Amino acid sequence: MDAGTTDRIVIGLGIDDSYSFAGDNSSGLFMWGAMIEEASYTSSYIKTEGEVGGVTRLKDECFNGGDADLFNITEGTFFVDANNFGTPLNNYSMITISDATGSNYIRFIYESSRIRVSVLGLGDYFITGVNDNERNKVATTFKENEMKVFFNGSLVHTDTLGVLPTGLSKLNFSMTNNLSRWFEGKVHDTRVYDRVLTEAEAIELTTL
């Protein structure tokens, strides 16, 4: 960093950890192996491999995250904290856990002005009035004969499951088969629990 500047930079150590440094027109800052971005938040590493000049991030992707040992659960909680950049109603995008097929899945489907929670054996529940480019937290808890949906700090839906999804083995920011419906937005957090969170825990987790 040039010693003759008073700009502030943020040094990110992780998604939630960072230090800031403000120039004072005299001190300098020496860094090795650093990545500098002009943004108000830290992001994942952009691999440059020695290129001279700037490198532009295209997108981060999550395909086939995890395995059957991690996700093959008979009850649990699926949570996503994300900002959808905006997709037309008929060109929706998804964040899913599944067995990589359309036979077993839990899907958060982001459409224009709504989020569709889709669970095998239940069908779809629509959360409406959702704005594009707006942060939202949604979670679903599931166990035999019960599913609940939580949205931005409230329990918004309770239903009876007909069939529980089984063999869950993949986390995708896309359709279950990775071939389409790629999520376009900012994912702040996503979690899969191997237990059903209590209503109080789920409300706290999804509160903005």
Q: Is residue 101 in some structural domain?
A: yes
Phi/psi-derived region of residue 129, left when phi > 0, alpha when psi is between -120 and 50, beta in every other case? left
Q: Is residue 10 in some structural domain?
A: yes
One DSSP character per residue, 166-193 reads: ----EEESS-TTSSS----EEEEEEEEE
Reported as a pLDDT band with limits 50, 70 and 90, residue 57 is low
Residues 135, 160 within the same domain: yes
The C-alpha atoms of residue 63 and residue 77 are separated, in whole angstroms, by 20
Residues 19, 89 within the same domain: no
Is the per-residue pLDDT at 180 higher than 80? yes
178 residue type, one letter:
N
Residues 18, 72 within the same domain: no
The C-alpha atoms of residue 174 and residue 120 are separated, in whole angstroms, by 17
Residue tagged 């994942």 (tokens): 44
The C-alpha atoms of residue 10 and residue 177 are separated, in whole angstroms, by 38
| 149, 127 contact by CB (below 8 A) | yes
- Residue 139 burial (CB count, 10 A): 24
Q: Is residue 63 in some structural domain?
A: no
Range of the domain at 97: 68-206
| 112, 87 contact by CB (below 8 A) | yes
Work out the average pLDDT over 84-88.
81
- The whole-number pLDDT of residue 56 equals 63
Question: Domain count of the chain?
Answer: 2
**Average per-residue pLDDT in the chain?**
80
Residues 99, 119 within the same domain: yes
Report how far apart, in Å, the C-alpha atoms of 27 and of each of 11, 12, 22 are: 16, 20, 9
Q: Is residue 184 in some structural domain?
A: yes
Which residues make beta-bridge pairs with 80? Answer: 138, 190
Residues 53, 149 within the same domain: no
The C-alpha atoms of residue 139 and residue 148 are separated, in whole angstroms, by 8
Whether the predicted model's global pTM rises above the 0.85 cut: no
- The whole-number pLDDT of residue 48 equals 67
129-141 pLDDT, tens digit each: 998 889 999 999 9
Please give the structure tokens belonging to residue 42.
């830290």
- The whole-number pLDDT of residue 87 equals 76
Residues 104, 188 within the same domain: yes
Residues 126, 189 within the same domain: yes
